[in-house]
Amino acid sequence: MIKNFFITFEGIDGSGKSTQAKLLIDKLASINLETLFLREPGGTSISEEIRSVLLNNRKDEMSSRTEALLMCASRAQLTKDIIIPEMKGGKWIVADRYADSTLAYQGGGRGIDLDWLIKVNHFATYGTQPDLTFYIDVDPEIGAKRRYTMVSDRIESAGLEFQKDIRAKYLEIVDKFSERCVTVDGNLSIDEISQIIWRITRDRTSIEKT
Ligand code: ADP
Ligand code: TYD
From the CB of 15, is ligand 1 less than 6 Å away? yes
Q: What is the 90 CA–ligand 2 centroid distance (Å)?
A: 27
Q: What is the 38 CA–ligand 2 centroid distance (Å)?
A: 13
From the CB of 150, is ligand 1 less than 6 Å away? no
Q: What is the 13 CA–ligand 2 centroid distance (Å)?
A: 7
Distance of CA 62 to the CA centre of its chain: 22
pLDDT at 1: 65
Provide the residue ranges of all domains of the chain, joining segments of one domain with +. 6-204
CATH class entry, domain 6-204: alpha beta
pLDDT digits (tens, 9 = 90+) for 39-88: 999 999 999 999 999 999 888 999 999 999 999 999 999 999 999 999 99
Triad 67, 16, 51: Cα angle to 5°? 25
Whether residue 210 is predicted with pLDDT greater than 60 in this model: the reply is no
